[in-house]
Amino acid sequence: MLSTKLINAINHSTSLDDNLQHTRHDLEAAKKRVVQLEVEAKEHADAITNGVLLLKANVDTNMEKLKAELAEAKRERESSDKAKKQMELEVENLTSALFEEANTVCWSTRHVLESNLIMPDGCGCAQGARSSGEAQLAAQISTRGHGNSISFTTRTVA
């Protein structure tokens, strides 16, 4: 019985030694892992400090600012496009009105010139009608042309 107790004690002591060795090995591995994690944590902190990595909160804040700027730029573009279309329409309307006015002036000029050509030279009123027609035409042109003068010559039909 004493020998079994002695054998059991020796076996127990061996088991404890094995556990101690295993625990020491685990402790060394854990220390190495701690050192490795500390190095990684320092590298991570340095990356954040140097701007290589960004904090999510900062990224989210910047993203919201950029979205707001984009929305504002879209609103400004829509507004400028609308103003551009409105100006193009106004230019088109003004161009149309200008051509209509030019056609009216041409028609009036042609009408006056034709009326001068129809009157016979032998009639005593031809020269007076021609002068009157020229004066009338000059008055129309000056009112429509806003002060711009247009000169032309009339021919006498023989």
Q: Where exactly are the structural domains of the chain?
A: 1-53
Whether this model's pTM surpasses 0.85: no
Query: What residue spans of 51-119 are helical by DSSP H?
Result: 56-118
Q: What is the pLDDT of residue 47?
A: 87
Q: What is the pLDDT of residue 118?
A: 64
Q: What is the pLDDT of residue 58?
A: 87
The span from the CA of 93 to the CA of 104, in Å, is: 16
Cα Rg of the chain (Å, integer): 52
Is the CB of residue 53 less than 8 Å from the CB of residue 47? yes
Q: What is the pLDDT of residue 36?
A: 97
Mean pLDDT confidence for 79-104: 95
